[in-house]
Amino acid sequence: MKKETLLIGAHVSIAGGFDKAITQGEEIGATCIQIFTKSNRQWKAKPITQNDIDSFTAQQKNSQVRVVVAHAAYLINLGSTTPETVEKSVHALVDELQRCDALKIPYLVLHPGTMNTKDEEESLVFIADQINKALEKAQPKHVTLLLETMAGQGSVLGYTFEQLATIIKHIDHKKYIGVCFDTCHAFASGYTFDTPASYKKMWENFDGTIGLEKLKAFHVNDSKKELGAKVDRHEHIGKGKIGATAFTLLMKDKKFANIPKILETPQEHGLEDNKKNLATLRDYFND
Ligand SMILES: [Zn+2]
Ligand SMILES: [Zn+2]
């Protein structure tokens, strides 16, 4: 296989062991991958053993997979209106941060959470407080927590740059915090970036609100739903409503060359779908 210079990849499974995720990344020609470090729909997690760490590190060492990103479990909701869920979420986030540290995974992507009160600002500050608790307890060494840009479905927060900036403003140790930009979510939330002008304007907006230095990862997904639909439905690259131009601009953008771009697109045909979508991204880059 030709040596891949682009930092592109996909979410892959850890079924059979953490090292299997690297193998799967290699099979699709990825240079970065995203994994769940535990079952994403369960609170409990099997402890990570030294054997897990060794086989994972060894597998990555000789592989072209340069960056591994972890995604936190979907159950975690730091903004829940149920105090018990918030407590469980903080606990689970501490565990996820420590699992990433053990595996030396540099980024953990988190959905910030939902409205905790009727007041948006109050809810954002509440979420930031819970993140502070988790970071204080976990004392991360290697891992940075990335807040994901959300689609704005239901009462989910984090769908505007301003909301993410408000959370970050209230984080005590800002060096532990970054952002993961999901193209499908941003589009569903109402951001346009499908012409050179709108693309430039959106990133100026991001830079002015959050700061480009906080951007550490991309989820590269097309959208089944319209601009501003506030509905989160991922589509194959170039087959959805976002369109080829937006992804071409992103792939050719030199300032993002070293930021991992990870697919979370539908997988109806096993690894073939990911291979195809990665080929599309390479085409856009070479276009
Ligand atoms: Zn996500
Ligand atoms: Zn999504």
Residue 3 maps to a domain: no
Q: Is the pTM of this model over 0.95?
A: yes
Torsion, Cα of 74, 258, 268, 182 (10° steps):
50
pLDDT score recorded for residue 5: 86
The number of domains in the chain is: 1
Q: What is the mean pLDDT of each run of 10 residues along the chain (287 residues)?
A: 82 96 97 96 93 97 96 97 98 98 98 97 98 97 97 97 98 96 98 97 98 98 97 97 97 97 95 97 95
**Catalytic residue numbers?**
41, 71, 74, 111, 148, 182, 185, 219, 232, 234, 264
Q: How many CA atoms lie within 13 A of 162 on its CB side?
A: 4
Its domain, for residue 45, covers 8-286
Residue 1 maps to a domain: no
pLDDT score recorded for residue 249: 98
* Distance from Cα 57 to the centre of ligand 2, integer Å: 29
Q: How many CA atoms lie within 13 A of 178 on its CB side?
A: 19
Dist. CA 84–CA 273, nearest whole Å: 39
* Distance from Cα 283 to the centre of ligand 1, integer Å: 25
**Ligand approaching nearest to the C-alpha of 109:** 1
Dist. CA 210–CA 59, nearest whole Å: 35
Dist. CA 12–CA 35, nearest whole Å: 6
Residue 150 maps to a domain: yes
Residue 2 maps to a domain: no
* Distance from Cα 150 to the centre of ligand 1, integer Å: 8
Residue 56 maps to a domain: yes
* Distance from Cα 53 to the centre of ligand 1, integer Å: 24
pLDDT score recorded for residue 3: 64
pLDDT score recorded for residue 2: 56
Task: Give the CATH number, domain containing residue 123.
Answer: 3.20.20.150
pLDDT score recorded for residue 201: 98
Radius of gyration of the chain (CA): 18
Q: What is the H or E stretch that residue 286 is in?
A: helix 271-286
